[in-house]
Amino acid sequence: MMASMFQGLNDVRWSSLDHAYGPATTVPTMLALLRCRDPELRQRGFSDLWSKVHHQGSVYASTVAAIPFLVAIAAHPMTPDRVQTVRLVASIGVSAAERCGDSGVDEVADKAVATLRDHIEPVRGFAADADPAVREAAVPALAIVINDPGEAAAALRDRFSVEMDRWVQVALVAAMAALAVRAPTIADTTTRWLETVADDATAAPVVRLAAVAHRAHSFPETVDDDTVPAAITLLDRLAFAPPTPESTAAAAPPTSSAAVPPQVTAAFADMDRAGAETTPVSDLLGVLHTALGNRVADRAALVGAQLGHADARLQLDGIHDARTLMTGWRGDHTVTITALAGLLPQEGPVAAAAAAALQACHVLAEPAREALAAVVAVHEPATWQSKDRATRTLYQEAVRALARLGDVRAVPALAAVFDTGVEVWRAVPVTGCLPDAAAVLAPRMVAYTAGLDVAAGRDSMSVNAAMTALANLGDPVAIPVIVNALAAAPRGNDAGPSVIPGMLNALGSFGLAANDAAGAIQAFTASNDPHVQTAAIKAWWQITGDRSSTYTMALTLLDAPAWFALSDGADLLAQLGPEAVPAVPRLRTLLGHRYEWVRVAAATALWDITGADEAPQVLDVLMAAWERNSATARVTAPCLARMGTAARPALALVEAELARPRRDSYGSIAKDDAVVAACRAVRDQFTEP
């Protein structure tokens, strides 16, 4: 049996085939490990196959060659982990089918689908296996191996009619919807079938919810005012087992090695915990939220039902979806913020997750201010280092969220963090949000920064965060420690350029108060590293105000090869105003640059330097760039606001931006809010009082 399973394995010229990282010579070893009794070795085989042979859903020549052996391994009753093997086969099939489409232009994908269809009988067997987990894993492949879409849909419906396991039924619903997207000829019948399943009072609520979600996702035109109420009704009927002990157990703060910054260690720990706290319907709810898209009010209603659910794990899903909604979509999120605030008194994982979501929402968390302050007030500062993960997270995130709102009630907790030295890195990013408490926090930030091993160049994340916090606090007491750090920072390697610009930016933020650092900054204005040079020139201008030398250095940047240096040079000239008129011909040349960000910087500089004389071509460039890349609105919109009535031709673009519910890739809620404010300023100039 073993021999037949791998028959022909050595006949394949694996060295002539490729995977994600080169020749596929080790694929036979990966396949053999799937039969290994040692779980660690077996998992290594799966890990290598997913990461190399099926990397991020890709299909390679080696993937096609591996399919017959994967099917044979999965079909053998003594294979240790048939579920994972079948799941891998199905994922390859789905990815290949999606790449084929109707055009069939991807030859490798075509071969993968054809190879899988050569093994239709084993796949049918997987879909009817005695183990429901194997059946569930096989369902997506069942929709692929049957060539005719109508026959494939019939097979899925037949399987559904005899299936007793609700999670296999959920998989069948998802497969039917996906099949109909690939094969529009069965769309109408599939839509009606999904509606029938959703309305079937005898079906399990989770199966009906799956039908509602996948129908909405695959057929957006079916979404109406009844979609969310139907989903909420079904959601209310669900309940699941509590989270596994591993996800809520007491644990000390994660520690990092010298080579791994604590932020990175914590991020991976958060990812692991988030995975442990998901529910069986997390993906379904994600599908439904994706389907609802810009229907922000409907999504908020769904989130509200999730947050108010009696099941704690469904509340955790709701917290995740609330955070995604508020950070990704505009609108009045007061109701959602208030609902999150209402979860804080629960303590435990739900309260901790709610506090983290509020912290991530920054200024949007205003309606939760008093609830956050109450959490901070009822806990001692030592709670920051509690060994109970949920309690520690609740307190830390409440303090951080309160600080982001500029509330000085967070100051004693933050001061205690610096005094104890435990997980200070979590406090640093929010410390700068409290400039009114600089007298208390700035000396502590200075001491913390002085203790960073800048010369080693290992923890650039901590160094850059410290520089940003010191700049935002705005207390000149920080200037000497920044100058010392700048002198100690390594140069000429990967570590130096990653921290030096941040130090220069921090010094520049102090303006004339940092004039004594001018000499240290000037040394970097001729740096060969464009990141360092541009930061140094900008800092030089901020702390000296020397218009003549800044003009000369800005012109130097206009000849730099890096696009961001060109943009920064144009921005500096714009700040000089009419004194930069001699640079206008060079700026006009940059209006034809291949990159829209450079074109935008040149156009805005031309307006700020010359005014109405350049209005027509400035408008042409700004509008074209905005239409090509909506993220440029964070520069174009403020410029249009400065242009006054000359911006009238761009009014339609401004109105469209204001009507768009989704935030763009501006980098933060605050930046998106700034774009909206600038657009409103433009519009208001043309609105009758």
Tens of pLDDT, residue by residue over 610-666, are 988 889 999 999 999 999 999 999 999 999 999 999 999 999 999 999 999 998 766
pLDDT confidence of residue 686 = 86
Cα separation, 78 vs 39, in Å, equals 14
H/E segment holding residue 23: strand 22-23
Look-up: residue for tokens 């300023």? 681
Tens of pLDDT, residue by residue over 414-456, are 999 999 999 999 999 999 999 999 999 999 999 999 999 998 8
Look-up: residue for tokens 């379904």? 284
Which three-class secondary structure string do you get for 551-569? Answer: HHHHHHHCCCCCHHHHHHH
H/E segment holding residue 22: strand 22-23
The contacts of residue 469 (CB under 8 Å, 6+ apart) are 428, 429, 431, 432, 445
pLDDT confidence of residue 247 = 45
Tens of pLDDT, residue by residue over 192-239, are 999 999 999 999 999 999 999 999 999 999 999 999 999 999 999 987
Closest CA to 499 of 455, 433, 451, 444: 455
* CA pseudo-torsion sign 65, 69, 70, 72: positive
Which segments of the chain have a pLDDT < 70?
A: 1-4, 101-105, 241-261, 263-278, 492-497, 665-667, 688-689
**DSSP type of residue 632:** G
- Model's pTM, two decimal places? 0.87
CB 405 within 8 A of CB 438: no
